Amino acid sequence: MTKYVFTTGGVVSSVGKGVVCACLGMLLEARGLKIAIMKFDPYINVDPGTMNPFEHGEVFVTDDGAETDLDLGHYQRFTNAVLSRKSNATTGGIYNAVIQKERRGEYLGKTVQVIPHITDEIKSRIRMLTAESEKPIDVAIIEIGGTVGDIEGQPFLEALRQFRLDVGPPNCCFIHVTLVPFIEASHELKTKPTQHSVRALRDIGIQPNIIVCRTGPHVMGEDQRKKVAMFCDVTDDAIINAEDISPLYAIPLNFKKQHLDDTVLRLLNIEAPESDLREWIDMVDRLKSTTQEIRIAAVGKYVNHDDAYKSINEAFVHAGIANNCKVHLQWVDSEQFEKGIEPADMLKEFDGVLVGPGFGTRGIEGKIKAVRYARENKVPYFGICLGMQMAVIELARNCLGLERAHSTEIDPQTPDPVICLLTEQRGIKDMGGTMRLGAYRCDLTPGTKAHKAYGEDTISERHRHRYEFNNAYLDVMTEKAGMVVSGKHPKGDHDLVEIMELRDHPWFCASQFHPEFKSTPLRPQPLFREFVRAALHFRNQRG
């Protein structure tokens, strides 16, 4: 029978629930258990696909094409859990499903209410998480977004209270992640906010079994741990100190020292062999002991919000581990290149240039100028999604003389639409969940940089886009502009260009897909790994 771990947050949002869930999942997998993991988000958007990355952070995409919360990226990087559209649900998605059932008459004319209809739908999503799994799920980990006390989170917490009774208390464990602030004036950590947060949770009918205390750079003393345990009615060994630790991937080792996995297994009455964390420990040691450094300029427009490109940031950490190299990723605002600043003045100190994904017209011309700088100066270049499209436009303009070449997304009247709307996107009006999403096959061309990076003939990568390379320009781009098509998706009437390279360039590679979504610290993504290797070589050559 599947056991359940529910994780809630207290005092403030963004307290680290996603990382706690991911680390716990990693520790349980290391003990031979099969896990499933999901997140409930209390916002009313059906999914985060239409939300501004500057406000919400990146949209993480699963193999089956779900646009999900960025916390699923943490789950992906720490665990081997299969992530799908079942792994993320929102208030908007829950209410939408209930309303659709009501419209179809499935409630037989009854008054539709939060209890039981909304809470029943929430509980059904929890059950769906473990249904139809190839192997039985030992532990399902469910994160509840937001903070205890938020009005929008109340139906989820009520559903958890009911679910515990449905499956029996011995089969559920509640973890509460809370902030323990340090007050400078008194030079001490204060546990009172945690006590109030737990009291609010208990008022709902949920008693946490484990409390994870986020303490910043500080560590709680034994007296403070006992105080939290006493006032919150948990055992001393169930108080976990979550001080800030760098690197991120050392956090599960800290939790292991405090026996988080042992406590969860005891509460759920699960027996499991002891874990072997040698591979993970070795990875963390290599990350801490890197002896080389490179600087990568990431040219984009959401440069003031780290979470907007969270998976890209982490993929570079993974690539650095593979190359015994620390990657300093500096986000560069592309709009400045449209206001008189020359790319060379900003980019000459960097060892590689990345143009990442994005939407809209702002900063586009600056990105194209950054591509030109990398191409003409033989600087390693990596383009992702929009970054590939910008590379194609730059080549068409400056190597073929098609001065007004563009994407029809940006300039619908361009005489040379080298990037155009996907055929299946024509006529679509709704914005949410309608792009080309999820994993697609890509056949690699032997002898290319992409083929050498992957070491395979066929790969699968995840997409999130509406526009594609226009095959009407394929011959002229490959024959006269030096473009090499190194990856294609076979598609009946025409193949879609998935990866392009440059013939006469040390390392210039761009993909229509998002390779960052599948990178992990133990399995660095091949294109990121090789881009960092090329940037390191470039740095060593120029001294």
Q: What is the pLDDT of residues 494-529, one digit of tens each?
A: 789 999 999 999 999 999 999 999 999 999 999 999
Asked if the model's pLDDT at residue 424 lies above 70, the reply is: no
Q: Does domain 3-282 have CATH number 3.40.50.300?
A: yes
Q: SS3 letters for 486-530?
A: EEEECCCCCCEEEEEEECCCCCEEEECCCHHHHCCCCCCCHHHHH
Contact criterion met (CB below 8 Å) for 209 and 174: yes
pTM of the model: 0.93
Which one, of 11, 24, 155, lies nearest residue 91 by Cα?
155
Decide: helix, strand or coil at residue 538.
Answer: helix
Which one, of 202, 197, 233, lies nearest residue 213 by Cα?
197
pLDDT value at residue 304 = 60
Residue 328 appears among annotated catalytic residues:
no
Percent of the chain with pLDDT over 90: 80
For range 369-392, the mean pLDDT: 96
Omega within 30 of 0 (cis) for the link into 53: no
Beta bridge partners of 330: 297
Asked if the model's pLDDT at residue 425 lies above 70, the reply is: no
How far from the centroid of its chain's Cα atoms is residue 497's Cα?
25
- Tokens encoding 395: 């080549």
Q: SS3 letters for 292-354?
A: EEEEEEEEECCCCCHHHHHHHHHHHHHHHHHCCEEEEEEEEEHHHHHCCCCHHHHHCCCCEEE
Q: Which of 173, 501, 514, 530 is catalytic?
A: 514
Which one, of 191, 193, 307, lies nearest residue 239 by Cα?
191
Helix then strand then coil, in percent of the chain rounded to 5, is 45, 20, 35
Residue 492 pLDDT grade (very low, low, confident, very high; cuts 50, 70, 90):
confident
Contact criterion met (CB below 8 Å) for 158 and 207: no
Is the Cα dihedral 221, 227, 228, 234 positive or negative? positive
CA angle (206 as vertex; 202, 211 as ends), nearest 5? 85
Where do you find CATH 3.40.50.880 in the chain?
291-420+438-542
* pLDDT, tens digit (0-9, with 9 covering 90-100), for 193-249: 999 999 999 999 999 999 999 999 999 989 899 999 999 999 999 999 999 999 999
Where do you find CATH 3.40.50.300 in the chain?
3-282
C-alpha to C-alpha distance for 274 and 262, rounded to whole angstroms: 9
Residue 516 appears among annotated catalytic residues:
yes
- Comparing 59-68, 93-102, 249-258, 473-482, which segment has the lowest mean pLDDT? 59-68
Question: What ranges make up the beta strands (E) of 422-495?
Answer: 436-444, 458-465, 467-469, 483-489
Residue 514 appears among annotated catalytic residues:
yes
Asked if the model's pLDDT at residue 430 lies above 60, the reply is: no
Question: What ranges make up the beta strands (E) of 69-117?
Answer: 88-90
Q: Which of 58, 498, 516, 530 is catalytic?
A: 516
CATH of domain 291-420+438-542: 3.40.50.880
Q: Which of 21, 385, 420, 442 is catalytic?
A: 385
Contact criterion met (CB below 8 Å) for 220 and 179: no
Which 8-state DSSP code applies to residue 395?
H
C-alpha distance from residue 158 to each of 116, 210, 291, 299 (Å): 10, 19, 51, 45
The contacts of residue 369 (CB under 8 Å, 6+ apart) are 337, 338, 343
* Phi/psi of residue 434, nearest 5 degrees: -110, 0
Q: Is 304 exposed, middle or buried (0-12, 13-18, 19+ CB in 10 A)?
A: exposed
How far from the centroid of its chain's Cα atoms is residue 475's Cα?
36
Within 323-469, where are the H helices?
343-347, 364-376, 386-399, 449-454
* pLDDT, tens digit (0-9, with 9 covering 90-100), for 71-129: 999 999 999 999 999 999 999 999 999 999 999 999 998 999 999 999 999 999 999 99
Q: What mean pLDDT value characterizes the chain?
A: 92
Contact criterion met (CB below 8 Å) for 456 and 371: no
Decide: helix, strand or coil at residue 456.
Answer: coil
pLDDT value at residue 309 = 84
The contacts of residue 340 (CB under 8 Å, 6+ apart) are none
Percent of the chain with pLDDT over 70: 96
pLDDT value at residue 132 = 76
For range 170-192, the mean pLDDT: 93
